[in-house]
Chain A
């Protein structure tokens, strides 16, 4: 079964607005990673947040992690049309030899 579940499944916003996506997971993790997938392409790693971290920034991306609620959020500020893609969270534990467990993703559409 999937470890991560993203919410919402689809999100449509105007260029310049902020986009927030959420991810919930079921078991204890070592870290949580966010990936972007453009249509018809492979996944691109965006950011990794460790279980002992609460917030992390990378450019226009802000990721939070709440291990007590087993949830994470990805915020994209000042969105651009080029941000249109599907976004996936993936979790890793200490005992799974590096295997990642992916959620079903959030499809983001940014309208110009």
Chain B
């Protein structure tokens, strides 16, 4: 299994541009989530999904959209990039939504917005 994969690894955007960060998992996990990590800080939840067709907002959802059309994929869209969205973005998945479930993280996407 490849686990959780993310593309691209690194991206530079200009203010106002839009883009989609890709996330895929091959473990048939129902639960997927997106986090951002700013320098020297922990992860903050952006959006999450408990299954195909179901998404919900996390702690910092503004400026981001998600969709979950398949179990495997959970793309994160930046609608109009802003410098404040410069961060490292991590996608994670787990087999269930129960609190005992372990989350598996992707390697991250480093985003720089100029």
Contacts and interface: CB of A to CB of B under 8 A. Distances in A.
A88 interface: yes
Contacts of A97: 48, 50, 56, 97
A24 B40 CA distance: 17
B99 A42 contact: no
Contact of B107 (A42, A99, A105): A42
Task: Give the bracket for the number of chain B residues in contact with chain A.
Answer: 20 to 34
A20 B99 CA distance: 25
Contacts of B101: 98
Interface residues of A, number: 28
B41 A104 contact: yes
Contacts of B108: 40-42
A42 B105 contact: yes
A44 B103 contact: no
